[in-house]
Structure 1
Amino acid sequence: MKKLLLASAVAALSVSAAQAAPTIYGKAFVAADYVNAEFDSNNNTFDRDEDTVEINSYSSRIGLKGSEAMTADTDVVYQLEYGIRPDGEDRTFKSRDTYLGVKNKNFGEVRAGRNQSTLDYINNVIVNEGYWDNLGSNNLNSNQQLAGLNMSDSGRINNSIIWKAPKYNNMPLDFALMYSSDRNEDNGLTDKDDGYGAALTFDQGTGFTLGVAYDKDQNISGDIIRGTATVNLGKYMAAPVTLGALYQQADFDYSSEDEKGLVVSANMDLNNFARPANVYVQYNNTESLDGNKDSDSDQIVVGGKYFFKDNLIMHAYAGMNKADNVSTKAADIDDNMVNTIGDTEVFVAGTGLEYRF
């Protein structure tokens, strides 16, 4: 009898240990991109031209995550995720979403650490992959490689805490609040403010979603409001197509002009292949880039994916971005950095392989 009790206790401990073990996950996404980019300055001295093939890594990462019960209703949740570069360009691990928190079925989930901003919680309209998998940057920095320019993007926020509300009576709403602290790490050299954010998503599981998000002093110095809508036509007719639209307005503290951005996308599943595949198209338009009323951009991208396996995906894409009256810094003949204004045009076609684990 004692041996039986001992064996039962060991088995119970083994099950508990297995449940507490973290999950290791990640992905490697490497692509070959043909890049042709031009910057035509108002002063021809600062014109730039790039024409090359690049080997790039996109959102490659490795991480571990898990949870462990504290009480019958409350779990500790954690995630440590780091960006990696299989192309070898940057050999250091860069922190992505890293947090420690608690989850309670009655009070929701709280995460503290480095978190993706709540502005991204409704970012389900973006279908681009690889080189174009972002909203981009809305300005060219000094000596920055030429790239597509679009509306202000959402990012990960340091020193932040997120509360995700629990589900009440199966209501089709997801709600999250975010706070980010200014820790004054620069000894008062700048006067940054604490940041705030919120996101609300409506999804009944019928193929139609709506989302609205707002943040202040997190992704930019100022306010951003974003709204999204998607519809899966396959839920209503014999058309395996999902349509999406995103509208965003950014109000910068340093400009009286609001940046306005629009994204429309379509993703279609292909059913005539042995394995799942899809094609997509996405159009971006931004007015008053970075609060500059004379600076606008347009971008169009087409692409597709083929799933050799659920975790082994081939990508192909091509796109073009044009932006007018973009300002940047360049070195003059005396190596002094001066401001210059011009137009950019970026064309990229690429193919890559993604492996998830």
Structure 2
Amino acid sequence: MKKLLLATAVAALSVSAANAAPTVYGKAFVTADYVDAEVDARYVDNAGEKFSGNEDENTVEINSHSSRLGFKGSEAMTANTDVIYQLEYGVNVDASGDNTFKSRDTFLGLANKNFGQVRVGRNTSVLDYVNNVTVTEGYWDNLGSNTLNTESDLDIDENGRVVGFSEDIVQALNMVSDKRQDNSVVWIAPKYNGVPVELAVQYSADESFGSNDNGFGASLMFDQGTGFTAGLAYTKDMDANTKWTLFDEELSYGGDVIRGTATIDLNKYMAMPVTLGALYQVADYDIDGAEEEKGLVISGEMGLTNFARPASVYLQYNKTDNLAGLNNFDSDQVVLGGKYMYKDNMIAHAYIGQNSADITVADAFEDGDIARVDADVFAIGGGLEYIF
């Protein structure tokens, strides 16, 4: 009997340990990218004095894109409730920058069969829960790169006049996108039988002393498995929080973002392995004189059937008006790319794209001043993604 009790205890401990053991996962995604970036700056003050400058850079970059290492798991608390957890860190495989490791989604929470999930910690914004349209990868996975810093590029004397042109400011500029939220809580509603929607609600606390800039948001995704999906999300003082510098002036402000998306898998309706998607987004910044930032994404991806393994090509167009709330600050981007799966977890990528952005700022220093900056980025590259 003692031996039987001892065996039972050992078995119970083994099951408990197995349930508590985390799953280790991650991916490494490294590319080589040829980048041709150019910026033109022109300035005219109210006395008619002019300045113009140009900088052109051609380089081959080794880049790490969303590489990560994570630990996740769950353990039963009661018959219907589990403790869930995740610790995920971004990894710069190329070791560029000071932060080789950077926190991604990291939370502790509960999952209940009747009441859904609650995640507390650092969570992706619910705006990303309806990001089912963008298909670009690698260098061109740049939704959210919407700030322009010209302070270091236009040399200004003590009288506020532009007297020179210096450092590089060129990057592929795009509409605002989701940001991970520190000190946040996400509730994901349970899916009910016969209701093809997923609801998520988020609260984000700003714990800075004296600050009341707490944010919130919600998303709703419709997918009944017929090849058509639609999403709608709204966030307040979460994703539109922006800090940037223009002509020696630092701006910091929040705002609202509303995003709508739709995709259709044509292969569900006809013999055509093509998925089409559209995303439209409006960001309204809380700053006097700011314009609504309006963003549009149109994408298409087609599966290729004449390969031994799954492969696809994609085309995506991005258009943004009034980037970061600045009137006449617009960008256009078009990217062509493809993927080939050597195995389900080994994916080769190739792409080519162009991004053009321009900004015209009147009254930059004194009445009558006009400054104009044009930025163009061309990039072609490819690499390997390994998922484990």
Scaled by the length of structure 1, what TM-score is found? 0.92
CA distances 1:71-100 after superposition (whole Å, capped 9, x unpaired): 000001100000111111135311000000
Taking only the aligned residue pairs, the percentage that are identical comes to 63
Give the secondary-structure state (helix, strand or coil) at the position aligned to 2:271. coil
Runs of 5+ consecutive residues of structure 2 not aligned to the other structure? 44-50, 153-167, 241-253, 362-369
Partner of 1:14: 14
1:84 corresponds to: 91
CA distance in 2, matches of 1:58, 1:311: 16
Give the distance between the partners of 1:141 and 1:295, measured in 2 at CA. Answer: 13
Aligned match for 2:149, one of 141, 147, 164: 141
Distance 1:127 1:114 in 2: 25
Aligned: 1:349 with 2:380: yes
Shift of 1:7: 2.4
Question: Partners of 2:267 and 2:300 in 1: how far apart?
Answer: 12
- Equivalent position of 1:37 in the other structure: 37
Decide which structure has the larger Cα Rg and report it: 2
The corresponding residue for 1:70 is 77
Match of 2:366 in 1: none
Select 1:177's aligned residue among 201, 222, 243: 201
1:92-103 maps to which residues of 2 (within 5 A)?
Answer: 92-103=100-111
Corresponding residue SS for 1:42 = strand
Aligned residues: 343
Conservation of the 8 A alpha-carbon contact between 1:134 and 1:153 = no
Rounded to whole Å, the distance in 1 between the matches of 2:75 and 2:142 is 34
Deviates more, 1:315-324 or 1:35-44: 35-44
Partners in 2 of 1:326 and 1:60 — Cα distance? 36
SS at match of 2:40: strand
Partner SS state of residue 47, structure 1: strand
Indicate the residue corresponding to 1:336 in structure 2: none
Kindly provide the amino acid, as one letter, of the partner of residue 280 in structure 2: Y
Could you tell me which amino acid in structure 1 is paired with residue 13 of structure 2?
A: L
Query: Shift in Å at residue 18 of structure 1?
Result: 1.2
1:232 lines up with 2:262 in the alignment? no
Work out whether residues 144 and 178 of structure 2, in 8 Å CA contact, stay in contact via their aligned partners in 1.
no
Matched residues in 2 for 1:298 and 1:284: separation?
Answer: 6
User: 2:122, 2:183 within 8 Å by CA — same for their partners in 1?
Assistant: yes
SS class of match (2:16): helix
Match for residue 281 of structure 2? 248
C-alpha deviation, 1:340, in angstroms: 5.3
Q: Which runs of 5+ in 1 are unaligned?
A: 328-338
Tell me the alpha carbon deviations over residues 141-198 of structure 1, each in whole angstroms, 9 at most, x when there is no partner.
Answer: 25565211111111101111000011123410100000001101xx44xx45110100
Shift of 1:210: 0.5
Distance 2:272 2:140 in 1: 26
SS at match of 2:272: coil
TM-score (normalizing by structure 2): 0.85
- Alpha-carbon distance change, 326 to 155 in structure 1, aligned in 2, over 3 angstroms: farther
- 2:262 partner amino acid: A
Aligned to 1:331: none
Cα distance in 1 between the residues matched to 2:146 and 2:200? 26
| Distance in 1 between residues matched to 2:121 and 2:371, nearest whole Å | 39
1:208, distance to aligned residue in structure 2 (A): 0.5
Instruction: Supply the AA of the counterpart residue of 2:12.
Output: A
- The match for 2:345 is 311
CA deviations on 1:204-247 (whole Å, 9 max, x unpaired) are 01110000000000011110000000001111110111100000
SS in 2 for 1:15: helix
Whether contact under 8 Å (2:356, 2:377) holds in the other structure is yes
Letter in 2 for 1:268: M
| Alpha-carbon distance between aligned partners in 2 of 1:124 and 1:84, rounded to the nearest angstrom | 24
SS of equivalent to 1:138? coil
- For 1:249-307, what per-residue CA distance to the aligned partner results, in whole angstroms no more than 9, with x for missing partners? 00001144111100000011111111111110100011111112211111000101111
Aligned AA (1:49): D
For the residues of structure 2 that align with 1:101 and 1:298, how far apart are their CA atoms?
40
